[in-house]
Structure 1
Amino acid sequence: MFKFIWDRFEELLGSLLLFVMVAIAFANVVTRYCIKMSLSWTEEITVNLFVWVVLLGTAYAFRKDNHLSVTLLHDAMPPWAQRACRAFSLIVCVGFFAALCWLGMVEVRDEMDLEVITESLAIPVWWYTVATPAFSLLIIVRILERAWQDLRNGRL
Structure 2
Amino acid sequence: MKQPRKYSIEGTVASVIFIVLIGVVLIQVFGRTPLFRGPVWTEEAARWLWVWMAFIGIAEVERQDGQLRMAFLADLLPEGSRRVLYTVIDLVYLGIMAHLAWIGYKTVLRTWDNVTVTLPTTDALLYASGFVAALLILHRIVRRLIGRRDVSVTREPSL
Query: Which range, TM-score by smaller chain?
Result: 0.7 to 0.9
Q: Which residue in 2 is equivalent to 1:88? A: 88
CA distance in 2, matches of 1:92, 1:55: 20
Q: Indicate conservation of the 8 Å contact 2:58/2:133, yes or no.
A: no
Q: Which residue in 1 is equivalent to 2:10? A: 10
Q: Which residue in 2 is equivalent to 1:142? A: 140
Q: Indicate conservation of the 8 Å contact 1:28/1:42, yes or no.
A: yes
Identical aligned pairs, as a percentage? 24
Matches within 5 A, 1:56-135: 56-112=56-112, 115-121=113-119, 123-135=121-133
Q: Indicate conservation of the 8 Å contact 1:25/1:46, yes or no.
A: yes
Where do 5+ consecutive residues of structure 2 fail to align? 1-6, 155-159
Q: Which moved more, 1:129-138 or 1:18-27?
A: 129-138
CA distance in 2, matches of 1:108, 1:72: 40
Per-residue CA deviation, residues 110-142 of structure 1 (Å, 9 max, x unaligned), is 112xx2111222521112212221221111011
Aligned length: 148
Q: Which moved more, 1:121-130 or 1:83-92?
A: 121-130
TM-score relative to the length of structure 1: 0.84
Q: Indicate conservation of the 8 Å contact 2:25/2:46, yes or no.
A: yes
Report the residue type matching 1:41 in the other structure: W
Give runs of ≥4 in structure 1 deviating > 3 Å.
34-40
CA distance in 2, matches of 1:126, 1:83: 39
RMSD: 2.0
- Kindly state the Cα deviation for residue 47 of structure 1 after the two structures are TM-superposed: 1.8
Q: Indicate conservation of the 8 Å contact 1:63/1:142, yes or no.
A: yes
TM-score relative to the length of structure 2: 0.82
